[in-house]
Structure 1
Amino acid sequence: MSDAVRETLDRYYAALKAGDSQALRGVVSDDIEVHYPAPDGLLPWAGDWIGFERFENFLATVGDHLVIDAVEPLAIHVAGDTVITVLKGEWTVKANGREVHTETVNMFTLRDGKIARYQVYSDTAALGLGLGRLVA
């Protein structure tokens, strides 16, 4: 992975962790596209979010429901302007205190040194169970 790609991802994750909107503005494009697929109605943050303001709404919606307890990178793959990260995550659902453990794939498309598209593929069933929207 090039130093520029590593720096972009490091800045992105640091800004997310800090909740720093200005730093996020510096690392994602104004027209960023977020794509988080899930069955209709299962996850409040699922869907497509386009533009920086909607990106911030996406992050706020996730934050309204989950506390990020731990995220461990398992693998990073780079192909041209696409970066794929595989993460192991631990979350706590704010409404009920349930813990959720998932593996998630984040796919980033970079343009001019910024993140232009962010796609998330996670264990939606585990998240749905944690939120109490699915029954085992």
Structure 2
Amino acid sequence: MNEQQNTQTVQEGYDLFVKGDISNLLNLYTEDIEFIYPGMASLVPYAGVFRGKEEVAKFFAKVSEAIDFERFEVQECIAQGDAVVALGYSKGHVRSTGQPEEEEWAHVLRMRDGKVAHFQAYTDTAAVAQAFQRSSHMAV
């Protein structure tokens, strides 16, 4: 596949995510997909390394349970060879704490035979973890 086709596949994946169509999104991944979201799973429920479509489906279920997104958008995709880098922005609230969760992020996706074989997210992990902590400030 060429860079334009890889970018189109990645953009299609983000569109499916925003629509909540995870079953069709998973069709864009290889069977042995490796999916990495940084952070400590004890703080951020969807942090970790997920291998294979079944585990990646669990990742998306955890995200859906944890975050109520107001915005999730890809601002730019940069492709070179079998790699696509997506730069984006998301904003929402953590369901369990009510805390705002806002971040600019970079995702690096590696393609194989027209499908995503590897996904790694880069973000401000401290800010994401903070959103999952209940506020310690009391109203006076």
Q: Is TM-score (shorter-chain normalized) higher than 0.5?
A: yes
Aligned to 1:87: 88
Higher Cα Rg, which structure: 2
Distance 1:86 1:135, change over 3 A: farther
Partner amino acid, structure 1, of 2:102? H
Counting aligned pairs with the same residue, the percent is 28
How big is the alpha-carbon RMSD for the aligned residues of Structure 1 and Structure 2?
A: 2.2
Deviation at 1:73, TM superposition (A): 2.7
Aligned to 1:45: 46
Query: Contact conserved, 2:106 with 2:122, CA < 8 A, in 1?
Result: yes
Q: Secondary structure at the match of 2:56?
A: helix
The size of the alignment, in residue pairs, is 136
Query: Contact conserved, 1:129 with 1:135, CA < 8 A, in 2?
Result: no
| 1:73-100 C-alpha deviation (Å, 9 max, x unpaired) | 3332212111111112112111122212
Deviation at 1:135, TM superposition (A): 6.9
Q: Secondary structure at the match of 2:24?
A: helix
Deviation at 1:72, TM superposition (A): 3.1
Gaps spanning 5+ residues in structure 2: where? none
Deviation at 1:41, TM superposition (A): 2.3
Distance 1:32 1:132, change over 3 A: same
Structure 1 runs, 4 residues or longer, greater than 6 Å off? 133-136
- Matched ranges for 1:103-114 at <5 A: 103-114=104-115
- Matched ranges for 1:63-82 at <5 A: 63-82=64-83
Query: Contact conserved, 1:125 with 1:134, CA < 8 A, in 2?
Result: no
Partner amino acid, structure 1, of 2:99? R
* TM-score for both structures, normalised by structure 1: 0.88
Partner amino acid, structure 1, of 2:17? L
Deviation at 1:118, TM superposition (A): 0.8
* TM-score for both structures, normalised by structure 2: 0.85
Q: Does 1:57 align with 2:58?
A: yes
